[in-house]
Amino acid sequence: MNLIIDVGNTLVKLAVFKKRKLIFKTDFPINDLLDEYNIIKRAYPKLESVIVSSVGRLPKSTLSKIGEDLELHQLSYKSKLPFKNLYETPHTLGADRMALVSAATYHYPYKSILIIDAGTCITYDFINDKKAYLGGSISPGLRLRYTALNNLTANLPLLEKNQPTSFIGKTTESSIHSGVVFGALKEIDGVIDEYRAVYQDLTVILTGGDADFLSNQLKNSIFAHSNFLLEGLNFILDYNT
């Protein structure tokens, strides 16, 4: 059994896989990691290996503690990956993006795939039908857009995401929702269109915390995968052991 630990920008996601089947997942603040780990270790005594993916800072003492119990693999650009990495600065490629591309190669082998992760940031990652990762792009996610409007202006309020009822905002709040949500949707559809103009057989995957909120509003056809990153990490762990 494999333990997956994904340390994101806002939360830690923890999952247990039995071979390729997800049997448990949860998320929590990073300060609770060791407590949650101890609970999982007792609940699943047959755990053997763990992979840790971190886009932020994870204390070495935490890694050492987990590594005392399980065979530990910390994902980095030096990890063996199931695709050819053509990124010009591989040491700067986020572990989350490596995992998403790995999941794509597992689920959709030998296809041209655009993976869109709608989380704190919206990341776009492209792998061609020869399993070559070419790169992508990064833009602010919904939460960052709302936060930036509040932090960098004098009078705009901080709002929680909400589906706008009209493209034309008639109040300050509805104008913010229109700008943030429709702006993100138009961006995503526009990026998909750019890729499809070159790769007509493109498969598009949408995942991340805001995937459900956005998926039904896009004009382009996509496949929504809520556990795509976790599955990619599990695939990488198996690939390296």
Domains of the chain: 2-74 (3.30.420.40), 84-233 (3.30.420.40)
Confidence (pLDDT) at 153: 96
- In one letter, which amino acid is 198? V
Is there a contact between 5 and 33 (Cβ–Cβ < 8 Å)? yes
Q: How far apart are CA 40 and CA 46, in angstroms?
A: 11
Confidence (pLDDT) at 14: 96
Residues annotated as catalytic are 96
pLDDT mean for each 10 residues of the chain (241 residues) = 89 94 94 92 95 80 89 93 96 93 94 96 97 98 97 96 94 98 97 96 95 93 92 95 83
Give 175-227 pLDDT, tens digit per residue: 999 999 999 999 999 999 999 999 999 999 999 999 999 999 999 989 999 89
Q: Is 20 annotated as a binding residue?
A: no
What's the token pair of residue 31?
């300060």
Angle at 235 between CA 31 and CA 124, to 5 degrees: 75
Q: How far apart are CA 56 and CA 51, in angstroms?
A: 15
Q: Is 105 annotated as a binding residue?
A: no
Q: Is 6 annotated as a binding residue?
A: yes
Q: Is 92 annotated as a binding residue?
A: no
Confidence (pLDDT) at 11: 85
Q: State the alpha helices, DSSP H only, in 160-215.
A: 172-177, 183-198, 211-215
Q: How far apart are CA 91 and CA 29, in angstroms?
A: 26
pTM for the whole structure: 0.91
Nearest-10 Cα torsion for 90, 92, 95, 97:
-80
Q: Is 31 annotated as a binding residue?
A: no
**Which H or E element spans position 234?**
helix 228-239
Residue 132 in 3-state DSSP?
strand
CB atoms near residue 59 (< 10 Å)? 11
